[in-house]
Amino acid sequence: MALQLGDTAPDFQADTTAGPIEFRAWKQGSWAVLFSHPADFTPVCTTELGRVAQLSAEWAARGTKPIALSVDSVADHAKWVPDINEVNGTTVDYPIIADPDKAVAQLYGMIHPNEGDTSSVRVVYIIDPADKVRLTLTYPKSVGRNFDEILRALDALQLTDRAAVSTPVDWRAGDRVIVPPTVSTDDARAKFGEVDEVRPYLRFVQAPQG
């Protein structure tokens, strides 16, 4: 069964391109983005892993560690990485998990047999410092992911953890945020300053800083 929001992300040990890891020890209380791929030397995956590498500074700025998974071996990963680097003009600086026995893919519900075979689909898990699953995305194998959206969602998660607010549709960092129904307008004014009350249940404030 696929993991649900709020579940504790299962721990595991695996070989990776950065050597053997134990997942929670590797995270060390950071946010993590764990994302899976059907196989090495595949076209969509090559563009995706390159894009994640290009965003290295963005992950670091958010205290987040990306980690990829493919059912192929570390030796295959090592042969594939130079292609990823060359095609995307970048350097893959995060681990790629080897999962030839599909143990991690099964543990995280990344295998969807109704997709036509038993390789992993394109699953994304955002996992918080407390090892809780905070966001899941699942794409078919033919559709590449939008990692700008994953960064946007990560920004929203980190902001809403930090402050008693919600984010509206298409929100991006710096945009106004929504006062949750559990906070009165008077309390919102005391906490955030000016409140734009569009409806009694829909109130906007400037996003808290810091």
Cite the active site residues.
45
Question: What CA–CA distance (Å, rounded) separates 189 from 8?
Answer: 36
Question: What CA–CA distance (Å, rounded) separates 200 from 38?
Answer: 47
- CA dihedral over 193, 197, 200, 205, signed as positive or negative: negative
DSSP helix/strand/coil, 86: helix
Residue 33 pairs with which residues in a beta bridge?
66, 126
Answer yes or no: are the C-beta atoms of 48 and 145 closer than 8 Å. Answer: yes
Whole-number Cα distances in Å, 59 to 42, 55, 116: 24, 6, 33
Q: Which tokens belong to 5? A: 């929001």
Question: What CA–CA distance (Å, rounded) separates 157 from 73?
Answer: 33
Eight-class DSSP state of 144:
-
Question: What CA–CA distance (Å, rounded) separates 101 from 124?
Answer: 20
Burial group, residue 210, by CB count within 10 angstroms (0-12, 13-18, 19+): exposed
